Amino acid sequence: MRTFNVAGLYFAVVLLFLLYLLWMMIKPFLAAIIFASIITGSVYPLYKILLDKTKLTRQLAAVVICFLVVIVIFFPTLYLSFVLSKEAVTLYQNLVLPLSSESVKDFFMGNGHIAGGLKKLNTMLGVEVHVNNFINEILSQIRNVSALVIVTINNIVENIVSFLFNFMIMILVIYALLAEGIPLKRFMLKLSPLPDDQEELIIEKFNQMNFVTLVCNGVGGLIQGILAGIGFWLAGINLVVLWTTIMIILAFIPLLGISIVYIPACIYLASTGQVFSGVMLFIYCTVVAFVTENWFKPIFIGNRIQINSLFVLFTIIGGMTVFGLGGIFYGPIIAILFLTMVELYHKFYSSQ
């Protein structure tokens, strides 16, 4: 019969207490640390090239990578924050404010194309189509959008300082992961009870998914968003920077992507009498999305990660529900780590 081990119990209590304190210290910076890990996994191949092709030390190569991250991410993001806040105000002034109860009723019951279509439908079906409830629902949604726009503008302005601080933390973490990557990796692997080959597989899958999510989808998102934004500009749609940025973000979502923006835009053009522009914009954006998703991305991604697009869609939506915008990256990574653990279970542990 085992005797009660006071020393072991004391050790466990102290360890758990220290882990709790460590968690409380890390918690405010957890998002910055996770995103820094994602970026580090994505830029690590470039870091290896710098080490192999130049005589730079690990520390200097890490400084170069951090500098590139600042150039590629920090300054564009800061610039877009100001531009988007300005365009969001313009959108609110030009689109939301003019949509009064009378203007919406005129749109559906006046002399426009939509109103004419509803009148023809009444005549053809021989029944009266009541749109009052529909109009009231639209007005309710407009009020919700107005509140959302105002909150978003305020958040952008308020979060600029927070963004600067978190970005500084992120750069420090990226530098530490690159410059001290080998001893840090050894230390982390020592904490895990798994065999080294299994830990290496988990790290490999994590880095592969980082590359696919951030680099492949990022480049694909830029291509789709910018080309679709050019189409918006040619079609005469205002606030191109705002819509382009939204489409770049939405392009990370498989199956749906930029269609969430360009299909309503095409309907809007057609409903305002610009039928040709609406049809051409629809064809153009559809071709851009189809070619990028079915030709460019498969070539770019290659055989790195083979995962069902519908499954990725659900993980992104679920990730955004739990983690906000960062869920675009966190969702697929959590999913691939889960699938990797399931693979390890069936291979090594199911018989136990």
Q: Measuring CA to CA, which residue among 212, 188, 209 is closest to residue 199? A: 188
The mean per-residue pLDDT over the stretch 230-239 comes to 86
* Model confidence pLDDT, tens digit, residues 281-315: 999 999 988 888 777 776 666 555 666 667 777 88
Check residue 283 and give its pLDDT.
Answer: 92
266: its two tokens: 């095409």
Check residue 21 and give its pLDDT.
Answer: 92
Instruction: Pick the more confident residue, 277 or 205.
Output: 277
Report the distance separating Cα 194 and Cα 348, nearest Å. 11
Helix or strand run (H / E) with residue 103 = helix 101-109
* Model confidence pLDDT, tens digit, residues 67-93: 998 888 777 777 777 776 666 666 666
**Distance between start and end Cα atoms, the chain:** 26
Check residue 92 and give its pLDDT.
Answer: 62
By the 8 A CB rule, do 207 and 44 touch?
A: yes
From 27-41, 132-146, 188-202, 287-301, the region with the lowest mean pLDDT: 132-146
- Which residue reads 């939301």 in tokens? 96
CA dihedral 326, 327, 329, 330 (to 10 degrees): 110
Report the distance separating Cα 282 and Cα 260, nearest Å. 12
Check residue 1 and give its pLDDT.
Answer: 46
Instruction: State the DSSP code for 331.
Output: H
Identify the three-state secondary structure at position 124: helix
Q: How far is CA 213 from the centre of its chain?
A: 9
Residue 64 has pLDDT above 80, yes or no: yes
Report the distance separating Cα 233 and Cα 82, nearest Å. 20
Q: Measuring CA to CA, which residue among 282, 274, 278 is closest to residue 112? A: 274
Residue 181 has pLDDT above 80, yes or no: no
Residue 222 has pLDDT above 80, yes or no: yes
Long-range contacts of 277-285 (CB under 8 A, 24+ apart): 277/235, 277/236, 278/235, 280/235, 281/231, 281/232, 281/235, 284/228, 284/231, 285/228, 285/231, 285/258, 285/259
Check residue 284 and give its pLDDT.
Answer: 92
Contacts of 321 (CB under 8 A, 6+ apart): 327
* Model confidence pLDDT, tens digit, residues 18-53: 989 988 988 888 888 888 888 887 788 888 888 888
Q: Measuring CA to CA, which residue among 254, 252, 248, 273 is closest to residue 262? A: 248
Report the distance separating Cα 108 and Cα 115, nearest Å. 4
Instruction: Pick the more confident residue, 152 or 54.
Output: 54
By the 8 A CB rule, do 235 and 277 touch?
A: yes
Q: What is the amino acid identity at position 65?
A: I
The mean per-residue pLDDT over the stretch 114-126 comes to 62
Per residue in 106-130, is it b (16+ CB within 10 Å) or e — as a string?
ebbeeeeebbeeeeeeeeeeeeeee
Rounded to 5°, the CA angle 251-225-35 comes to 55
Residue 7 has pLDDT above 60, yes or no: yes
Whole-prediction pTM value?
0.62
Q: What is the amino acid identity at position 248?
A: I
336: its two tokens: 């691939």
Ranges assigned E (strand) in the chain = none
Report the distance separating Cα 224 and Cα 245, nearest Å. 10
